[in-house]
Chains A and B, each alone.
Chain A
């Protein structure tokens, strides 16, 4: 017997807008509202909005909140130098394997907010609670299922958000990868598309009103389909595909998010220090016609690798992917990808493929 799918505060409005709904990580979510290609294009050209309420907002508060997060995460929250600054990090197990990737914000001293993936939320909370208890840190972990989250992304996203939802103006002057507001309305200049914009955490009861105001202002509703093509073009990892508990951050192109220094211990540090990465992680651009998919084999001069993510990049009008490859494979290398029964030509590239609407890689 399967449990019923969870629904966000916007479920009714998605259905009203004609969304094609699909199950995702136990949630009933919009795949698209007619054409995911169109939603992708609108995001890069103007602005689109995504219901990302399925992800979990988790507040970590108390005297030991900072110390706890410095032990818990591979990146170092000591870098969060002011209220509103944000940090992207992996959370590792004792073997250095990735349990999840997340963004953590400094809200105010003794108050941090993390956003974790929907599929891993329950496991993350259980892990964090167990680690806090075992290690004796004095802090509270509060899941905020009273909040919804709407991502507005694109070159005009911030302007349109300010016009449609003036409360977002609290973030008018912040830098990218920062946030403003308070625990009841948190406006973060972050996203999963490679475009400028906001991820807004707001009371679930306000979500529908905000969504309709943004819609009236010309923001295009966009679903999970566009979300995936946008993030892939932006070279952003998807947990469960590009990395998982069996791989370290170094094997997923996320070495840049790990801070190893003598003064700070963190869960997984010892394992990372003693494990040689088995793979490099790079982008693949298909130069023949076709579409690559996750798990297809990449044949390089140094041996076989595997695509962790693959698909079509509408802004590039080409197939792109991310892949685990043998150490030493480099951007510029010519490779073959086994697509269905054929060996198609491709090139290794350094992601991202697209940023701020601009194509960065060429065959």
Chain B
């Protein structure tokens, strides 16, 4: 299982990358895409939407099941990845290079408190289905 050290993670299998401008970019982990199987459809939040940490942000539909994607931190959605409409399979092929949406965080503390790679590894190992 791929698990980059420079990213933060959530218990709900999102990865989070802190950008230089203070925004965060969000995707799903290698573990998550493997559990899901081939992704066929993605429904991500519109720019301008304001979400609380842990709130449902969007849905990823795979051949097997639908998976909710959650806002890892509270904030406003800046953008979501339009390329996913035509090539949802990129999430399976390159989970850490395929972003889902970007947030402008309200609270820097929430970003700090996300899991690091070691913390997420425990979550992933416990999650087998």
Measured CB to CB, the residues of A under 8 A from B are: 31-32, 35-37, 225, 229, 289-291, 293, 311-312, 314, 319, 340
Contacts and interface: CB of A to CB of B under 8 A. Distances in A.
Contacts of B41: 289-291, 312, 319
Given A32-B37, A290-B43, A290-B61, A37 B89 contact: yes
B66 interface: yes
Task: Tell which of B43, B59, B63, B64 has the most Cβ of chain A within 10 Å.
Answer: B63
A32 B63 CA distance: 12
A225 B43 contact: no
Query: Which are the 3 A-B pairs with shortest beta-carbon distances?
Result: A291-B61, A37-B38, A312-B40
Contacts of B43: 289-290
Contact of B63 (A289, A290, A312, A340): A312
Contacts of B66: 291, 293, 340
Contacts of B40: 37, 291, 312, 314
Contacts of B89: 37
Chain A interface SS verdict (over half): mixed
A225 B37 contact: yes
Given A290-B41, A311-B63, 7 more contacts: A35-B38, A36-B38, A36-B63, A289-B43, A291-B61, A293-B66, A312-B63
Contacts of A290: 41, 43, 61
Interface of B: 37-38, 40-41, 43, 59, 61, 63-66, 89, 92
A41 B63 CA distance: 14
Contacts of A37: 38, 40, 63, 89
A225 B59 contact: no
A42 B47 CA distance: 38
7 contacts: A32-B37, A35-B38, A35-B92, A36-B63, A289-B41, A291-B40, A340-B66
A314 B89 CA distance: 12
Contacts of B92: 35
A169 to B, nearest CB: 35
A340 B61 CA distance: 11
Given A290-B43, A291-B66, A36 B37 contact: yes
B63 A225 contact: yes
Contacts of A293: 65-66
A277 to B, nearest CB: 32
A225 B61 contact: no
Contacts of A312: 40-41, 61, 63
Nearest to B68: A340
Nearest to B93: A35
Nearest to A311: B63
A37 B88 CA distance: 12
